[in-house]
Structure 1
Amino acid sequence: MALATLGIVALDCPDPRALAGFYAEVLGGTVEGDGEWVELKVGDRRTLAFQAAPGHVPPKWPGSDGAQQLHLDLDVDDLDEAERGVLALGARPLDTEDRSRSWRVYADPAGHPFCLCAC
């Protein structure tokens, strides 16, 4: 028997509404809230939240002087098409040189690493 169930994954960031908007463009869904806490509702039961963190310092990837903390794996049908889309939305490439792999690593506009993964 589990002791708990996973609720919401929340990302600290300087501008919750802006980062929620970025992920809404990438994942679809509905942005709810404003101010210190904003949620992105994706589908029936999935929520990604964004919390204001003044002085937010993005994780380093890769880096031995700071952990990446966490990253999101986002499944896509077409890596090249998804890459063009996230870059147009303000993501920046972190590890995309090896085009033979089934995944590529980017940073969202607040600096959180995420992967596009061929499904």
Structure 2
Amino acid sequence: MTDDTRFPRSVFSSGDEPDARFSLANERTFLAWLRTGLALLAGGVALEALGLGIHPGFRLAASLLLLISGAAVPVQAWYGWKRTESALRHGTPLPSAPLTVVLSVVVTAVGVLVLVGVLLR
């Protein structure tokens, strides 16, 4: 397969072809991020749809946080995959995933919102 038929061209048109194991590991990480985003979306929908006896305001806030972060994760996954693949191709240090800290804060906030929502029902 030539470089001009591979997508995205901006990644595959520069640098050297890395060991396939590293590219495949990068792809598995990308897919894991997609699964994480899907789980966050499903959790946000389920939390709001089922109610579960949680105070409505806290339930809505927690659901919205899950839905927004679930929609943002695939975007970060795509850019993270591109940045990592480029780093592999150029032999530079691997980049960090900036959304991990934000996602940790969001999941903690959702847990606190649900806890408070249960206590105040």
Q: What TM-score range do you get, normalising by the shorter chain?
A: under 0.3
* Greater strand share, structure number: 1
Structure ranking higher on relative contact order (CA contacts 8 Å, 6+ apart): 2
Based on CA coordinates, which of the two structures has the bigger radius of gyration? 2
* Greater helix share, structure number: 2
User: TM-score normalized by structure 2?
Assistant: 0.24
